[in-house]
Chain A
Amino acid sequence: MDSTLLLIQILNGAQYGVLLFLIAAGLTLVFGVMGFINLAHGVQYMIGAYLTFMFMGVTGNFFAALFLGLVTALALGLALEALVLRHLYDRDHLDQVLATFGIILFVNEAVKVIWGPATLTIPPPEILSASIQLTDNLRYPVYRLALIVVGVVVAAALYLIVGKTRVGMLIRAGASNAEMVSALGVNIRRLFMIVFGFGAMLAGFAGALAAPVFTLEPGMGDNLLIVAFVVIVIGGIGSIRGAFIAALLVGLIDTLGRSLATDVMHLFFNPSAANQIGPSLASMLIYIFMAGVLFFRPQGLFPARGAA
């Protein structure tokens, strides 16, 4: 493998990691602050992508569609919170799993009915559709680079909001001990609502950004949801910093693993065996990584202090 290919894989890995972070950030806050397991988070990602697709057809402008999509995703997230999730905060984790699983089934099927089961695509916006010359023999799409930049900016903004503002302070306090925060006179229900709406919007944002890179299909968020859970568990539940680092690690390990594993296996096995083992091992890598992290640090890399 030459250095050009390696550079491409690293960029692809960073881009995947950034998307994972946008999904995982909301998930880790909702989980860390509210102690709520929200399986419907992957659905928010899918909704973000489909809404952008829909508004793209109406307005014809990617950025306008992105904006409208985000506002609608936020509204839908808040509606979901008010209708169903709010009644489940005090319930057992498994009740939450069951109810949000029901929501996944419903929304995936609804999307299939509304937009059809076939895959859809969105072209990247005009001004970002070019590709630039990175090295002598490597051109890379501007949109993908912009994606990485946007992800890093959002991560920095989140870090500042959670670390430096009053709302962020309440969020961190909530992640440590929600009851105590409530006893000190903070309207914890409203805090939950803000965190949830914000998390839903971030997931929708990730979906909208990913739409021009991947294809849209019903259920597109389900597998990403599992990987996002892997990310927040590796990073430590409730920790934005942990989610960011873990998301990049997972993105890079997965992407590099897929391109390198087969080659590495060729060193140890005969070609046909290596071609079988390589892809399986590559798919396994992030889970092996997670099991390893949990074995040595059962609370993840950056546990939010006091969080259960």
Chain B
Amino acid sequence: MKGVSVADAGALGQKRRTDLSLFIGIVVLALLAVTPFITGFAGGKYVEALVLKAMILAIAAVSLDLLIGQGGLVSFGHAAFVGLGSYVTGIALTEGVTNALPVLALVISISGLFALITGAISLRTSGVYFIMITLAFGQMLFFSLSSLSTYGGDDGLTLWDSPTLFGAYIFEAGSGLFYSALVILALTWLLVWRLAQSRFGRVLRAGKQNAVRVGTLGFDIFKYRLVAYVIAGLLAGIAGFLTACQAEYISPATAAWQNSGNLIIMVVLGGMGTRNGALLGALFVVLIEESLSLITLEWKLIFGPLLVLIVLFAKGGLVGLISRSGVRQ
């Protein structure tokens, strides 16, 4: 992507890499699609629920990568949008709105609005100050959700219903929800990559490298970043909708800063700004945590050093590892 002088060879290499990453992404999604059949033989509902959880987190992680990987905007409050989405869903259900369309419309508009307001303030800052101000808004939302005494306060709230689409319970925990989440994940994955390849994505990436120069070229980088922030926020809100449907329970803990940190970990571990990085990162973290915890209760003694080793020896995260091993072949 760097050398313009070797455009031909470079373009060819890039094309091949693009094809490979598209192929890998489709394989991963296809594997996810057949998971319920495999778990029918081994693993059962427990593994299926685990993979579903991983897919929902992957939606949030892929949306976060639009900010981190493309825009260089490290948001440390992304879980707030997931929490907000789950609360809007939970409150709507509790108040008797069970049709998924208005619920989703509410989720999208409220998390989008929250992103618009907090983004407009946060994007005045940059670098680590941006990290911290997004954390601040995340914490404000977290404590606000904890104070909603009508809807469970600190303890959260159990949901007795799930949203329906034209009378069908496709968001009820089980295989209906599994495939709904898979479809939303695939669409998010496609949308974020299409955005990244578009002019919009190019302006974002240029702003990541040198915001002043982009401004001099006549682009209002603030507007581009704000739009990206709103898109990422409402996608994470949809992940929150799915979280509420899966858990049949809403809790302020969803919006805790630890979860925002986890999302960043997933994106960085997978490989920032790549087509499959955030997707693979989310699946890897959830599944490796679970498998290690089957081996030993003190699985963090293994997972911690594993993270350090990945950083030290695998530049570019998991995707970097994969593409390097591909080159060697």
User: Is B268 a contact of A113 with CB atoms below 8 Å?
Assistant: no
**Complex interface: chain A residues within 8 A of B121 (CB):** 291, 295
Query: 1/0 contact trace for B260-275 toward A, CB 8 Å?
Result: 0100110011001000
User: Is A101 a contact of B140 with CB atoms below 8 Å?
Assistant: no
**Complex interface: chain A residues within 8 A of B133 (CB):** 290-291, 294
User: Is A106 a contact of B125 with CB atoms below 8 Å?
Assistant: no
Q: B139 on the interface (CB 8 Å rule)?
A: yes
With A276-B149, A298-B129 in contact, do A102 and B135 touch (Cβ < 8 Å)? no
Separation in Å of the B310 CB from the closest CB of chain A? 8
Q: B174 on the interface (CB 8 Å rule)?
A: no
Which B residues have a C-beta under 8 Å from some C-beta of A? Answer: 68, 74, 121, 124-129, 132-133, 135-137, 139-140, 143-144, 146-149, 153, 257, 261, 264-265, 268-269, 272, 298, 300-301, 303-308, 310-312
Main secondary structure, interface of A, reads: helix
Q: A280 on the interface (CB 8 Å rule)?
A: yes
Query: Can you spell out 24 A-B residue pairs with CB atoms less than 8 angstroms apart?
Result: A94-B268, A94-B272, A97-B264, A97-B265, A97-B268, A98-B268, A99-B311, A103-B304, A113-B298, A226-B257, A229-B132, A233-B129, A273-B149, A280-B144, A280-B147, A284-B144, A287-B140, A290-B133, A291-B140, A294-B129, A294-B132, A294-B133, A295-B121, A298-B129
Q: Whose C-beta in chain B lies nearest to the C-beta of A283?
A: B143
Which A residues have a C-beta under 8 Å from some C-beta of B? Answer: 31, 37, 84, 87-88, 91, 93-95, 97-99, 101-110, 112-113, 226, 229-230, 233, 237, 272-273, 276-277, 279-281, 283-284, 287-288, 290-291, 294-295, 298-300, 308
Query: Within the assembled complex, what's the spacing in Å between the Cα atoms of A288 and B300?
Result: 34
Separation in Å of the A118 CB from the closest CB of chain B? 16
* Given A99-B311, A106-B301: 13 more A-B contacts, CB < 8 Å: A84-B308, A91-B311, A94-B74, A95-B268, A109-B300, A226-B135, A276-B147, A276-B149, A284-B140, A288-B140, A294-B129, A295-B124, A299-B129
Query: Within the assembled complex, what's the spacing in Å between the Cα atoms of A107 and B135?
Result: 24
Separation in Å of the B198 CB from the closest CB of chain A? 24
Separation in Å of the A95 CB from the closest CB of chain B? 5
Separation in Å of the A34 CB from the closest CB of chain B? 13
With A94-B272, A97-B264 in contact, do A108 and B300 touch (Cβ < 8 Å)? yes
User: Is B305 a contact of A106 with CB atoms below 8 Å?
Assistant: yes
Q: Whose C-beta in chain B lies nearest to the C-beta of A277?
A: B147
Q: Whose C-beta in chain A lies nearest to the C-beta of B269?
A: A98
**Complex interface: chain A residues within 8 A of B306 (CB):** 102
User: Is B68 a contact of A94 with CB atoms below 8 Å?
Assistant: yes
Q: Whose C-beta in chain B lies nearest to the C-beta of A91?
A: B311
Separation in Å of the A117 CB from the closest CB of chain B? 11
**Complex interface: chain A residues within 8 A of B257 (CB):** 226
**Complex interface: chain A residues within 8 A of B149 (CB):** 272-273, 276
Separation in Å of the A141 CB from the closest CB of chain B? 30
User: Is B312 a contact of A280 with CB atoms below 8 Å?
Assistant: no
Separation in Å of the A272 CB from the closest CB of chain B? 7
Q: Which of A97, A99, A104, A284 contacts B139 (CB 8 A)?
A: A284
